[in-house]
Copies of this chain bind each other. A is one copy, B any other.
Amino acid sequence: VKDWVIDPVGGVTSPTGFVAAAVASGLKKESALDLALLYAQQECAAAAVFTQNQVVAAPVIIDRQTLQANNAQLRAVVANAGNANACTGQPGLLSARQMQQLTASSLDCRPDQVLVLSTGVIGMQLPMDKIRYAITQAAAQLSPDGGQAAAQAIMTTDTRPKHLALQLDLPGGKVTLGGMAKGAGMIHPDMATMLSVITTDASVSPGLLDRFLKKAADNSFNRISIDGDTSTNDTVLLLANGASRATVADRQSATQFQQGLTYLCTQLAKMIVRDGEGATKFVELRVQGCRTEADAHAIAQTIATSPLVKTAFAGSDANWGRILAAAGRAGVAFDPSQVSLWVGAAHPTELQLVAVGTPTDYREADAAAIFSQAEFSVQLELGEGDAMTTMWTTDLTHEYITINADYRT
């Protein structure tokens, strides 16, 4: 049973014991907020998932090292937008370390208690004078109401901030989870990066926290695929300060905490998809009847990133041949004569287009009516087994080309 209370205006400062601030350092134009500082009044257990890209930004390298040395006594996260500090070589690493040190001295903690996030243009060095001043400013403005401003500051081409909080009623007491995120995929590549920070006042061991976050990310952030391009900076951080005194250790509270965390991550991930660059459609894609979940995921990912499928979505064209052809090149063996396909305005998907390998005699107008909605579902049944997966994706529009072709000109 999912007995949680959702707070749509909540964020990273909703859990007890977290404060935040955001300032305009000058990295973004027009004095927009671009540096966020999150501070935990108690030491936190921490877990993270990072991009799998071979080319990673300096903050990712620094955070991996930091968490390897210390995953139980974290105190702060400093994040900037406007510059990704990626492909910046040795000077970039020094800058990321300096951000860590400046934050630590402003907050009177150790550098290895600070995590660093950056997002924005690739290949340019950070203006450390601006960053230094902004960190000092932000440290002086920390507040329990700073969560929304922090979510605003980490935006790049996002059109709106993404944040949410929810309260869980665990056996040991009420705990709160809060999170913020910024765009993933189909965002400007110079502005590449999916970033998310999640906080909780539950008491959770680092080892358990790590397991919870991996599972939650696998079922949320790793289920959204917009243009298939993963960035050099993608990071999700989870901090637990234990301020609620409710401990997550037994099976029941672990199950509830996992459900709540996965729900929070899923909602943030869906906000990212809905705000995808140029996106006009939100498509839930279910691939079922596979031999393994890995098979289902490979097929879903190929469909969700196919330019032909995504332009059909954009054109409200129920062009199921493209969906089958994309499935067929996913590297998974299956028997096309066993494939079925449904589409619908929502689950359950009500219109069957293909029945066991053969097109049904559906009316084209009915299919087009579904594909012309702002949100619809596609359900593909392989007939090979019981494994399934769900992904969320968008269409591929003129606006995407405009944003990504014309940015630096």
Residues in chain A within 8 A of chain B (CB atoms): 52-56, 86-87, 89, 122-123, 189-190, 192, 227-232, 306-308, 311-312, 314-317, 319-322, 324-330, 332-334, 336-337, 339, 354, 357-359, 368, 396-398, 400-402, 404-409
Instruction: Determine which of B55, B89, B337, B405 lies in contact with A311 in the assembled complex, contact meaning CB atoms within 8 Å.
Output: B405
Which residues on B sit within 8 Å (CB–CB) of A317? 405, 407-409
12 residue pairs of the A-B complex, CB under 8 angstroms, read A53-B325, A53-B329, A54-B336, A87-B359, A122-B321, A123-B320, A123-B321, A232-B321, A314-B401, A317-B407, A368-B409, A400-B401
Q: Chain B residues with Cβ under 8 A from A89's Cβ? A: 337, 357-359
A330 — which chain B residues lie within 8 A by C-beta?
54
Return the contact of A404 from the options B52, B308, B334, B354 (Cβ within 8 A).
B308
Choose among B56, B319, B325 the residue that contacts A230 (Cβ–Cβ < 8 A).
B325
Q: Does B315 lie within 8 Å of A407, measured CB to CB?
A: yes
Residues of B near A358 (CB, < 8 A) are 89
| Contact of A228 with B333 at beta-carbon distance under 8 Å, contacts A53-B328, A401-B396 already known | no
> How far does the alpha carbon of A230 sit from the alpha carbon of B302 in the complex, in Å?
11
Q: Say yes or no: B324 contacts A55, CB within 8 Å.
A: yes
Q: Which 5 A-B pairs have the closest CB atoms?
A: A315-B405, A122-B321, A55-B328, A311-B404, A54-B328
CB-based nearest B residue for A402: B398
Copies in the complex: 2
17 new A-B contacts at CB < 8 Å, known A89-B358, A312-B404, A315-B404: A53-B328, A53-B329, A54-B327, A54-B336, A55-B324, A55-B336, A86-B321, A87-B321, A87-B336, A228-B307, A232-B321, A308-B404, A315-B406, A316-B409, A317-B407, A317-B408, A397-B401
B55 and A327: CB pair below 8 A?
yes
Chain B hits for A397, CB < 8 A: 401, 405
Neighbouring B residues of A325 by C-beta, 8 Å = 53, 55, 122, 189, 192, 229-232
The interface residues of chain B lying within 8 Å CB-to-CB of A337 are 89
Contact of A334 among B54, B190, B311, B402 (CB under 8 A): B54
Q: Are B398 and A398 in contact (CB under 8 A)?
A: yes
A311-B405, A317-B407 known; A52 vs B190 contact (CB < 8 Å): no
Closest to A299 in B: B54
Max chain B Cβ within 10 angstroms of own Cβ: one of A55, A192, A232, A407: A55
B232 close to A52 (CB less than 8 A): no
Least CB distance from A347 to B in Å reads 24
- Chain B residues lying within 8 Å of A406, measured Cβ to Cβ, are 315
A308 touches B189 (CB 8 A): yes
Q: In angstroms, how far is the closest chain B Cβ from the Cβ of A342?
A: 16
Contact between A87 and B322, CB atoms less than 8 A apart:
no
Q: Is the CB of B396 within 8 A of A329?
A: no
Chain B residues near A404: list those with CB within 8 A: 307-308, 311-312, 315
A89 to chain B, nearest CB (A): 5
In the complex, the answer to whether A319 meets B359 with C-beta atoms within 8 Å is no
Nearest to A52 among chain B residues (CB) is: B329
- Chain B, Cβ-Cβ closest to A53: B328
- Chain B residue nearest to A333 (CB atoms) is B54
* Contact partners of A320 in chain B: CB under 8 A: 123
| Residue from the set A123, A232, A308, A337 with the largest chain B CB neighbour count within 10 Å | A308
Asked if A328 and B401 sit within 8 Å, CB to CB, the answer is: no
CA distance A400 to B357 in the complex (A): 29
